[in-house]
Amino acid sequence: MINVNDVCRRLRFLMLCGVTCLLCLLGSQSASALPDDAPVLISESNSTRALFTVSTGTKTRSATVIQPGRDTVVTFFITNVELLKGERANAFRADFEDSAHNRYPLQIVSLDASTSSVYALSVRLPVELGSVGDVLVRVTWRGMSSNRVRASIGFEGGKIEDDPGSVPTPMPTANISRKSKSAERADLPWTGDRVRFLEQATFGPNAALEIRVRRIGYSTWIEEQMDEQIYESYVYPNYPFFPITPSPTCDGNTLPPDSPATCFRDNYTMYPLQNWFYKEALYNDRQQLRRRVSWALGQIFVTSGRVNSQPSQMMPYIQTLDRNAFGNFRRLLKEMTLNPAMGTYLDMAISTAQNPNENYAREILQLFTIGLDLLNQDGTPVVDGQGNPLPSYNQTTINNFTKIFTGWTYCNQGCTSSQPGVINYRDPMIPNPANHDTSSKTLLNYSGATPVIPAGLTPEQDLEAALNNIFYHPNVGPFIGKLLIQQLVTSNPTPAYVGRVAAVFNNNGRGDRGDLKAVVRAILLDPEARGNIKTDPVYGKLREPVLFVTNVLRPFNPTANNNIGVPASCSGLSDGAINAITQPLDQDVFSPPSVFNYYPMDYVIPNTPLAGPEFGIFSTGTALKRPNFVNQMGPPNSSGATGILAVTGAASNTPCGTRIDLTRLEALAASDSTGVALVDTLNREMMHGALSSPVRNEVLNAVQSVQSTNSVKRARTAFYLIATLSQYQVQR
């Protein structure tokens, strides 16, 4: 049970700052206002009361009042849905809302065809639901919410009112075909679904990408982004290796007069790597999708600059993510296992038969591949007779995998990048057979597995057998598929969505397992990801700080802040020194605080059943810093400048600075004294047309309160209000 009003009241001051949670977006859709492709709940012919049947035990009957009980199953009727092959009950969600605004998620039991155009959706009432009187019933499908109809629980009556504009939606008198979608024409600029697609597949929309996708379509654009020749021609920064302990002339404190003031910053912190990352996010449109997927994978296969403090140590790890973003998961698994930064971070590089360390063995199972519990292929947990989830492994399993990973360490002699006196983080780790446990190991046991690894194998043979044992575990597809969906699209995908993606992981259509190119394509082109408007109140994801910042910057031509004499070396571009914005938001790029990432990937929003990983770093403090950033980039500060100021001098951390260009918005404000063109343009380009009417009117009123002759202030006011809205904070 969730009291939406209580949650929103507790977060009201945060909402004023433009921050909210998914629950606070809970809204209603009247039948008359439903998008054409939304499901429709059937009501009585002359009222908005639901048409339903009730089953208790073996008896099924029509009813006007539902008596609550553990065994009560209610069947509602829906139309205007057209299912994919194999799409079933797990594609739907349903909930009740009572007069106190408590929301009760319902357990979906079954879906059956009543006629060729009407489906019977059966749900089980929650145990905690008592006799609450009238409730409003909602069904959601593929991110779309149905109209809400009325049902009575225990007794008829109560204070809850129908949603505004609600009308009866009686049973069709004849078979009807699904309504055609009300999608905007694909060739029109900035259509809703195209903007949503770019939010999911890039670090934010901009005009160039919007035009490109408009011209060639999603599928072709994805193929362009996955072009291996473009990737192979890319040249990464080459950071030099240094001893683990800085020399006295590079300690950041006691520098002699001739020592560069940036020595420690540039060689023993993530600063250069972070700047490179942000410049790639802002400007490298040819590899937006690869970088976006690599960033997502880096939040699954976590290592950190808090341990690997040199940029030269972390860059090979990033290259491993980039290289395998559209490759095979099995190859990624091996390359990540032997990556020296990972070997340092999770101690595999020092794990020996004489002194084994279980860190990597534990995390490769729990976080990187299969998770703690056995999963069905739609990502739901396998449970026992009492409804308890079944563990996917135990401590004995970890102990056996620990033996597998012994004896591997850095290649400090004889490899391409070996250098005297420094650890080689560029070449994969190599085995030292004398330090490897050669005893028999018993690994994961599942249908088709070879769980027992015989004694006497080489470290390489043990490793290959163990990685195969993990890779072919049935959990990997749904576990990794769901994590990538959550990173790219929505925190609470339906089991059907997870199941479709897991099926592609298991078989890309050509018999290949683990094809991440096919998995990414399936995630982005799935019907639950696509569609102009998403009205399911739990659809979407809180924009994590990095994506919030880049999505605010990219649509508005981010450049150097050349108000104050930017050096010519900046070429008019941002220096990428933007991490000073996201670090206070608890996202220090490439330096997560633990192996559990910046936020737990299984984080559940308190007092709700909803997954919301990014809310794990959402607090009163970080909430206030979000609008402060927008204010910094938009309205002028006291010196008349905007953006991240460039500072001159050898020790400057922002030699070029960053600003955005709002001249296009200023021209719109000047050309239309009503402010409508300005607000509606921002609605299309930042909100993919999903700004609710009441909020749009409030923004428009605020813009109109600024003198029409002050086009600069009008433009910046509109930008600030849209970028700090609660509706913008959640990518949906």
Say whether pLDDT at 182 is over 70: no
Residue 562, pLDDT > 80, answer no
CA–CA separation, 281 and 283 (whole Å): 6
Half-sphere exposure of 731 (CA within 13 A, CB side): 35
Residue range 602-615: mean pLDDT, rounded:
95
Distance CA 517, CA 498 (A): 16
pLDDT digit string, tens, across residues 499-530: 999 999 999 999 999 999 999 999 999 999 99
Neighbouring residues of 655: CB distance < 8 A, sequence distance ≥ 6? 566, 567, 569, 570, 575, 577, 646, 647, 648
Decide if 187 contacts 528 (C-beta within 8 A). no
Going from the C-alpha of 421 to that of each of 74, 242, 244, 266, 384, the distances in angstroms are 71, 8, 9, 20, 55
Question: For residues 42 and 50, is the Cβ–Cβ distance under 8 A?
Answer: yes
Listed residue (665, 681, 664) closest to 714, CA to CA: 665
What pLDDT does residue 636 have?
59
Question: In whole angstroms, how large is the CA radius of gyration of the chain?
Answer: 28
Tens digits of per-residue pLDDT, 300-343?
999 999 999 999 999 999 999 999 999 999 999 999 999 999 99
Count Cβ atoms below 10 Å from residue 388 Cβ, excluding itself: 10
3-class secondary structure per residue, 258-304: CCCCCHHHHHHCCHHHHHHHHHHHHHCHHHHHHHHHHHHHHCCCCCC
Report the distance separating Cα 455 and Cα 345, nearest Å. 28
Q: Which helix (H) or strand (E) holds 725?
A: none
Q: Where are the domains of the chain?
A: 27-153, 346-474, 477-539, 545-731
3-state secondary structure of 532: coil
pLDDT of 21 > 50? The answer is no
The residue-averaged pLDDT of 645-653 equals: 66
Q: What are residue 330's DSSP bridge partners?
A: none
Rounded Cα–Cα distance for residues 110 and 269 (Å): 55
pLDDT number for residue 134: 94
Query: Which of left, alpha, beta for 52 (phi over 0: left; psi -120 to 50: alpha)?
Result: beta
- Tell me what pLDDT residue 425 has: 97
Query: How far is Cα of residue 222 from the mean position of the Cα atoms in its chain?
Result: 18
Cα angle 287, 288, 292; round to 5:
120
Structure tokens at 592: 């997560």
pLDDT top residue among 643 and 100: 100
pLDDT at 261: 72
Reported as a pLDDT band with limits 50, 70 and 90, residue 36 is confident
What angle in degrees, to the nearest 10, is found between the helix axes of 288-298 and 516-525?
Answer: 100
Helix (H) / strand (E) element for 286: namely: none
Average pLDDT over residues 186-206: 91
What pTM did the predictor assign?
A: 0.94
Distance in Å from the first CA to the final CA of the chain:
24
Q: Is 690 or 158 the better-scoring residue by pLDDT?
A: 690
The CATH label, of 3.40.50.12500, 2.40.50.140, 2.60.40.10, 2.120.10.30, for the domain at 27-153 is: 2.60.40.10
From residue 314, give the alpha-carbon distance in Å to each of 107, 262, 286, 319, 532. Answer: 45, 19, 23, 9, 39
> Around 563, how many Cα atoms within 13 Å sit in the side-chain half-sphere?
16
For the beta carbon of residue 449, count every other beta carbon within 10 angstroms. Answer: 15
Q: How far is CA 40 from the centre of its chain?
A: 29
What is the structure's pLDDT at 570? 83
Q: What is the pLDDT, as a whole number, of residue 205?
A: 97
Residue 4 is predicted with a pLDDT of 46
Mean pLDDT for 187-214 is 93
303 with 341: CB under 8 angstroms?
yes
What is the pLDDT of the chain when averaged over all its residues? 90
Which DSSP category does 476 fall into?
H
> pLDDT-based confidence at 13, cuts 50/70/90?
very low
Neighbours of 495 (CB within 10 A): 22
**What tokens were used for 121?**
């959706």
CB atoms inside a 10 Å sphere around CB 670: 16
Mean predicted confidence (pLDDT) in 667-679? 96
User: Which helix (H) or strand (E) covers residue 82, if one does?
Assistant: none
pLDDT of residue 32: 46
Pick the range with the lowest mean pLDDT from 46-60, 177-191, 325-339, 652-666.
Answer: 177-191
The average pLDDT across 45-70 equals 86
Quote the pLDDT of residue 68.
87
pLDDT computed for residue 63 by the predictor: 79
Give me the percent of the chain exceeding a pLDDT of 70: 89
* Burial bucket for residue 456 (CB in 10 Å: 0-12, 13-18, 19+): exposed
How many CB atoms neighbour CB 573 within 10 A?
15
The residues facing 151 across adjacent strands are 135
pLDDT band at 583; cut points 50, 70, 90: very high
**pLDDT the model gives residue 563:** 53
pLDDT tens, residue by residue, 273-299: 999 999 999 999 999 999 999 999 999
Residue 204 DSSP class: S
pLDDT band for position 612 (cuts 50, 70, 90): very high
Split at pLDDT 50, 70, 90, the class of 658 is: very high
User: 3-class SS at 429?
Assistant: coil
The answer on pLDDT for 62 being more than 90 is: no
If pLDDT is split at 50, 70 and 90, which confidence band does 12 have?
very low
3-state secondary structure 137-193: EEEEECCEECCCEEEEECCCCCCCCCCCCCCCCCCCCCCCCCCCCCCCCCCCCCCHH
Q: Which of 233, 211, 213 is nearest to 222 (CA)?
A: 213
Q: Which two tokens stand for residue 93?
A: 């969600």
